[in-house]
Structure 1
Amino acid sequence: MPTATHNHWGLKALFYTRIIWVLLHLFLLGYEYKAQDWSWYVLLLSCLIVGAIPQLIWIRTAQKSSWVYPVTELILSGLFLIIGSYAIGGYFPYLAIPAMCAAATTHSVRLRIPLWIWFSIVPAIAMAIVLPLSSFNISIIEGFFFFALGFGIWKFLDTQRKMQQLLDENERQRQVLEQYAKQVETITLLEERNRLARELHDTVGHTLTSVIMGLDAVSYLITDASEEAVVSINQLRVVSRKGLDEMRKQIHHIAPEREGETLSAQLRRIATDFAVHTDTSIEFEADETDIAVPLPVTMSLVRCLQESLTNAKRHGGATQIHISLTVLPELLTLTIHDNGCGMEEIHYGFGLSVMQERIEAYQGELLVRSNKNSGTTVLCKLPLKNRKGGQS
């Protein structure tokens, strides 16, 4: 039985109800059926044993979905019902709560049906021993009815357990999707910012430079103009130069080269955030180096890591992920291995296809290896040779 079901208030209520049931029958034996011979003491002791042993077994096996408690309950409670009825000379109704508890803790259909049959037969056997056929009463269905009631309780608890599992899974998926959406938003903003910075640099910078050069030429070509015109042109040139300087400052502010964070620090931060939001154990290993990594290469590895983490959790159900970053002067290698369910055949969906395109755009290589029930390994290789570490 899963721990969540074992701790459910319904089973706890049944557990304590059974204790009260046993104590009640001890009281009945003590005051209603008191005899003068030794058989009365044997009956009291039997009731105590029959009440205690299944209760202890229930405690020991509750979290293991074991068959031991229901079967023990049937044997001991059934024997006590027959012996007790024989000892007092009449039907001794004891089987109701034990039958209900046994049914509520039986998880196997193959075991439930035989138990139901035997719990239904035992009251008839007890009545046949102590009562004539004409005196049989409604108590004969005691085992059948209360076992059915216990099965209804089990069904209710099982439905709640499955609903809770679905809710937990939905919450995990929501966290994964939320994390993925944040990553996509961050990368989209970075890419748009870098694209805008390049366009500003190429268009506005070129235009202002052309204006300044034109004004410089005009100031030398004008020979007959008044001094005021020359002063105005010079002022315009000064303003244009200041505008160009200011634009360059803004561009530098929009697209900083590093933002003060190394490649390994960025990847480690992404892995840590993902681990926190998805309850995943992530181990990160990286070579400590100050080698310059171009921003496009950095962004490609960031996307590769984010997509791999998302796939490992969402599709593979991974609980442990190992990330390794190897930095060489001419090669970057990022390895992501998870313990998910894996797959027999690798399908390059949208995410993997985009990842492969980004890696290959920089002459890199993307390798994906996976086996059923053995997890998945993603290997990203990107060359660094003949590449500049900064932005123009």
Structure 2
Amino acid sequence: MKKLKESMLLINGWRFLYFGFLIHLWIMEDSTNSSFILILLLLVMTSLRWRFALPVWLVLIDVLLCFLYFPYTTISYYGLALPIFELSLKGKWLFSLLIFVSLFFSSANSNLLFWYFLQAFFFGFFSFFTLKSQLMFKREADEQRKARYELEQIKIELLEANQSVSRQAELMERYRISRELHDHLGHDLTGASLALQAYEYVQDQDPEEAKKLIEEVKNRLERSTKKLRNTVHNITPTTLIGFESLENIVQYFPQLAIKFQKSGDMLLVPAHQWALLEACLKEALTNVARHSNATIVEVDLQVTNSIVRLLVQDNGTVEKISYPGSGLRNLQIRSRSMGGSLSISRENGFLLVCVIPLEKGEENR
């Protein structure tokens, strides 16, 4: 846009430079009122083009004005350079070349007039292609900007969909576990409780029946214990999740000495937010290892009732980079999709702060 404004400034400069030449001719050769009126009328038309986007056919007004003043002043021939320039500027080169026919009716110096018309045509031709290329570049930049915006929107939508699927999977797993415990463990425990109550009534009256009831209670309790053990084993994750995953990253990161601190109830943080915090920690440690001369990195994880906050700070100096890399930009998009923020500072070492609000839905209770 700045280059386009500079080109229009140059075009307007050429327009008014022509008037400087016409005024010079009026002063030096033909100081008549008719010449001054013609210059004034052409100046009005040029000023209108400067202020407004006039249609190209209005150039005919300039041509007619110059033709009408042919019998009165030779300046009218030189004034035709303005329509030639305007037509060339709009890409109407054939019409601008037709104005060259006026050379055959000119009483002025035809050689000088020819080169004057030619430079007007050349300047218009050059300006036309300059504006065209700049408008094409602007259109391509707008399309790329639109494509990047749409891509970011798609990323955000995919992240939100991933979070929704994660929450739905968590709820379905909770529902499955609750149904499994209710259908099997709950029935056995209820049966054992009823058998114990019946045992209290028959232990003195029918010892054999009481013995059978005790055996049934033992069997039900053994089945319940076995079922509970199997259920716990099946739902225990085989990979590290939550803050344990962050501790594992810190423990096995070889290049740096890292101090890891945590505070708050880690169970308040849902699974999909742990995935983002894990990615932030990995990206921060990788950036420190690549671009910093730090010897110690502090990692602080804080969980409150409303937010989870991850802070990564080193004690070194980093390269002065004016913009974040693609990894950090993607993390910023992911954090914004969760309603949070990711801030980066390189003023005093490398500092990364990721803050994510905790959801208050039923799934986090």
Q: TM-score range by the shorter chain?
A: 0.3 to 0.5
With normalisation by structure 2, the TM-score equals 0.45
- Give the TM-score taking structure 1 as reference length: 0.42
**Which is greater in Rg?**
2
